[in-house]
Amino acid sequence: MKKVPSKILALLMAVSVFGCVSSKTGFTPGTYQGTAQGFHGDITMEVTVDSGRILSVQAVEHTESPGISDPAFERIPKAIVDGQTLAVDVVAGASFSSRGIIDAVTLALEKSGADITALQNKTASSKAVRRDSKTETADVIVIGAGGAGLAAAIAANQSGATVIVLEKMPRAGGNTIISGAAYNAVDPSRQIPLGIEDSVDLHFTQTYEGGDKVGDPALVRTMVENAYPALQWMESLGMEFTPTVFTVLGGLWPRAHKPVKPLGTGYIDTDLEYINSHSSQITLLLETEATELITKNGRVTGVKAKGLSTDYVFNANKAVVIATGGFGANIELRDRFNSMWPALTNIKTTNHPGATGDGLVMAEAVGANLVGMEYIQLLPMGDPDTGSLSGNIEQNVENRIFVNKSGNRFVDEGARRDVMTKGLFEQQDAFMWVILDRHSYPNPDVKNNFNETIAELIAQGRAYGANSLDDLARQIGVNAENLKAAVADFNRAVETGGPDRFGRTLFQDKIDTPPFYAGAREPTVHHTMGGIQINTRAQAIDKKGNVIPGLYAAGEVTGGIHGSNRLGGNALADIHVFGRIAGTNAAAEK
């Protein structure tokens, strides 16, 4: 949440009291506000005008993603003031935020009596930016600077290749940097001391069967066998994980590793440290959007791209790696391929705004086969206002329950993600409360998996706390007797070890120690399991089943690994295992 300092706001509001209409421009001098929809919620912009000019444009309040949306809030207001026009370009990778800013400014200017049509048609007074053309060459070109792309770039460089990484967003990180960051891997060094029995075969079985046996068994086997070696590889680069493991939502087993740094920042920081220290061999270009794969005699040989002021041709001596992520933020593509869920048009997403499926379009244009596109994963854990995973109060699967608006449990809270979400859709308003107690938050300053303390969440009205279940029920508006019965039912199952009447088998502590906490959640689009078909070498496959020479793919842009449902914690394993494989093999191309 960002706000204009109160003194400046008061001064600007005072200006608006003395406005008068200008016959020349139609402006009524003063200060006006407009609010429009951004990517994660409302954006409120403030505009100050005099009788002849737009004097200032600034953000009053918004909940857009920090870093991702920042360039839009910096550039668009400046472009509007500099050009005295609403005909300004959106910022690549932050198009939803950009349009929200422009729409909010438009609404504010309407209040001033401005001629909106003239402002929308007016050519900016500043000179148009002249576009340059440039050609660059490297051994490997990587499209996308999320977890998979950066892993591919590092692995390629470690294999002796020079690398150029293209990222359309203003920052690196993709979905990885805003993820819950759980990483599944069979890890005896952490699991055995906790009394956890696990095996690669069990991880394979749970992944393959958890995706309804739709995934390619060879790809699943490659992922589970290489998950721990890839984790060790990351640790060799400086990545740090906590010394324990846990069961992540929909992960089915306690094998999820938690980074020391919050969210996915540890992965991306580690990658960028390597890239920065090898800058003579790896070039990372932000705000550079790949638009087309270049082919010659059936082989992918490079990439065409657009920068802010430059049109590029990037030639690859060896190969191209596509790591552009999924299409969870592309409503049109979601609706086109969705066959599993009710209409997704009004369902928010956990994804960053750049997850729009660009790589799928480019790959299909050169003959790549797309598989499993109908398999779209929803989580029951979206913030009701933004769809993001932030604000989720759960710490692990074993110590919390879900209740609906009546205060009743309705599903096995340790089940697959699709099972839990389908159960949630059957509840009133597809809405639930996560209920837990002091076992998850021994003190108010304990943070959730998104670097937020429970005290902060309560202060923001995003969570509720009480010393009794009766008081908690009153605060969240559910039937107290139902809530107490739901907790008692769960506690009895903890004593017996289950399964309970929902079939739940994952338990640890009772919910019996105040303070008790509740957090609201709704369904949200989280992951797209479909994408480019690849083999175990991460080579892209065409519609006839043949390898496309010179083209590799890794991460959420690929399909065939997770089947119809992805286990929680498997995405981070997937992107690093196959990112590493793609980079290594791309560097070895002849």
Residues known to be catalytic: 417
Letter string b/e over residues 261-281, b meaning 16 or more CB atoms within 10 A of that residue's CB: bbbbbbbbbbbbebbeeeeeb
Cα of first residue to Cα of last residue in the chain, in angstroms, is 51
Task: Give 3-state DSSP helix, strand, coil % of the chain, rounded to 5.
Answer: 30, 25, 45
CA distance 33 to 48: 9
CA distance 506 to 570: 19
> How many Cβ atoms sit within 10 Å of the Cβ of residue 65?
21
CA diameter of the chain: 80
Which residues on adjacent β-strands are paired with residue 482? none
Query: Which amino acid, residue 512?
Result: D
Q: What is the DSSP string of 109-177?
A: HHHTT--HHHHHHPPPSSPPPPPEEEEEEEEEEEE--SHHHHHHHHHHHHTT--EEEE-SSSSS-TTGG
What's the alpha-carbon Rg for the chain, to the nearest Å? Answer: 25
588: CB partners within 8 A, 6+ apart:
159, 318
CA distance 60 to 115: 23
Which residues on adjacent β-strands are paired with residue 517? 436, 465
Query: Which letter does DSSP use for residue 178 in this model?
Result: G
CA distance 226 to 230: 6
487: CB partners within 8 A, 6+ apart:
401, 435, 469, 511, 512
CA neighbours closer than 13 Å in the CB half-sphere of residue 187: 26
Alpha helices in 366-499 (DSSP H): 417-425, 454-459, 469-476, 480-496
CA distance 490 to 478: 17
From residue 297, alpha-carbon distances to 273, 301, 366 in Å are 38, 9, 12
Q: What token pair was written down for 477?
A: 């508006």
CA neighbours closer than 13 Å in the CB half-sphere of residue 305: 30
If we measure between CA atoms, which residue out of 119, 104, 95, 25 comes closest to residue 62? 104
Which residues on adjacent β-strands are paired with residue 436? 517
> How many Cβ atoms sit within 10 Å of the Cβ of residue 237?
14
CA distance 565 to 559: 12
Query: Which amino acid, residue 198?
Result: D
